[in-house]
Amino acid sequence: MTKLFTPFEMRSLTLKNRIVVSPMCQYRAVDGRANHWHTVHLGNLALSGAGIVIIEATAVEPAGRITPGDLGLYDDATEAALKTTLEAVREVENCAVFIQLGHAGRKASSHKPWDGGQLIPLEEGGWETFAPSPIALKDGDRLPSEIDAAGLVRIRDDFVDAAKRAARLGIDGIELHAAHGYLLHEFLSPLSNHRTDAYGGSLENRMRFPLEVFEAVRAAFPADKPVGVRVSASDWMEGGWDCDQTVAFAKALAARGADFIDASSGGLVPQQQIKPGPGYQVRFADAIRKETGLATFAVGLITDAAQANAIIEEGKADFVALGRSLLYDPRWPWHAAADLGATIDAPPSYWRGLPADKAGLFRTTR
C-alpha cells in the first residue's frame, strides 16, 4: 500500500492518511468571529480527502491577533461563530479537524497582507502589542510592551481558556503556534528574548514559558485527543534559534505529553537568509523525528505526489502538510492518490466526476 495513504493512530484518533491541510490565515474574520467565508473555505478543504484539516492561526486574546481580520477563540461570541462553521464542515465530511492556537506577540496589530502588512498606528485603529522584550520587529516600528509576571499568567490562562472552548466545540486536536516569529517563538529565540529573569537567557529559561503554556493546554484538553506544536526549527540567522535547540525543545515537549511537531522555519526577523527549494524544510522534521521519536509534519514546497510519498516512505516524517498547493488545487489528494495508485475517501455526490480511466479511486465512509 502507498505509505502516503496509510492510516496513522494518534491517541484516540485513527487518521485516514498522512496528508495534512496546513493552517492558513484568511484574514476574513470580523472581531475574531468566523463567518461564511470560513465555512466555505474549510468545507472545501475538508472535502479534499486529507486526513487532517487544521484551522488557521486562532488568537487566544484580541491583542494576539496578527491583523483585525484574524480568527479568534477568546469569548462566547467567537466560540459560537466557530461552532456554526464546524457544524457545517462536520455535516459534509468526517476528516479530523485540528485548530492552531496562537498569539502574535510583537507581530500583532498589523494590516492584512493585501493592505501592505505593516504595523497599524494606534491612531488608525492599531493596538498595544506584547513581547518577551521591548524589541521592535523592524526599525522604526513602535516597541512592544515587555510582558510582566501578571501578563505571563494572563496569556497562559488565555491559551487554557481557548483550549477548553476548542474541547467544547469537539475539535479533534490542538496545534500550538510556536513558529514564524509569533509570541511563543519570540520567547524561544535569543534574537527576540533579552529578558534577565527566569524566562530569558539560557535555553532552559527561554523554553520555560512555551513549555508552561503547553503543559497548561495539555492538562485542559481531553486526554484522548492530541496536542502538538508548530515550530520554526531555524531563524536562518547567526546567533538565532536553530535545529539543535529545536530538538531540545521537542524532547522537553515529548516528556510533557506532546503528540507531534509541525516543523517549519523562519519568520522571526526580516534579515533571515532563507534559500527555499522543493522540500527545503523536510530535514528539520527528519531530525526531530529521529532524535525524539515524536510524530512529525514535514512542510515547505511539497508539491508533487511522488515527493510527498517518498518523505513518508523514507521515514523522514509521518505526515506532509500542504498549504499553497491545496489553495491552488483543493483536490490535490485525489490527484495524488490517482498518480500513486491508491484509493481515497470522496462523497458519493462527486463520484460521477471521476474520469473513466480512474475507476476504483474513490471510497466513502458515508
* pLDDT value for 214: 98
Quote the strand ranges of the chain, DSSP E: 8-10, 13-15, 19-21, 52-59, 71-72, 96-102, 130-131, 145-146, 173-178, 227-232, 260-264, 295-299, 319-322, 344-345, 362-363
Paired sense of beta strands 8-10 and 260-264, if any: unpaired
Q: Mean pLDDT over residues 211-232, rounded?
A: 98
Compute the C-alpha angle 242/157/188, nearest 5°: 10
Contact 191, 268 (CB under 8 A): yes
Could you tell me the CATH number of the domain that includes residue 260?
3.20.20.70
Identify which of 294, 300, 296 has the alpha carbon closest to the alpha carbon of residue 317: 296
Smallest CA-to-CA distance from 181 within 140, 226, 237 is with 237
Cβ-based neighbours of 35, under 8 Å, separated by 6 or more: 28, 29, 81, 85
Task: Work out the percent of the chain whose per-residue pLDDT is above 70.
Answer: 99
pLDDT for res 365: 53
pLDDT digits (tens, 9 = 90+) for 178-207: 999 999 999 999 999 999 999 999 999 999
The count of domains in the chain is 1
319 three-state secondary structure: strand
Write down the mean pLDDT value for the chain. Answer: 96
Decide if pLDDT at 131 tops 70.
Answer: yes
Q: Which residue do the cell numbers 484568511 mark?
A: 26
Q: In the prediction, which pLDDT does 1 show? A: 66
Task: For 89-128, write each residue's pLDDT tens digit.
Answer: 999 888 999 999 999 999 999 999 999 999 999 999 999 9
The domain containing residue 72 runs over which residues?
3-363
pTM: 0.96
Taking alpha carbons only, the member of 58, 82, 63, 227 closest to residue 168 is: 82
Residues taking part in catalysis: 182
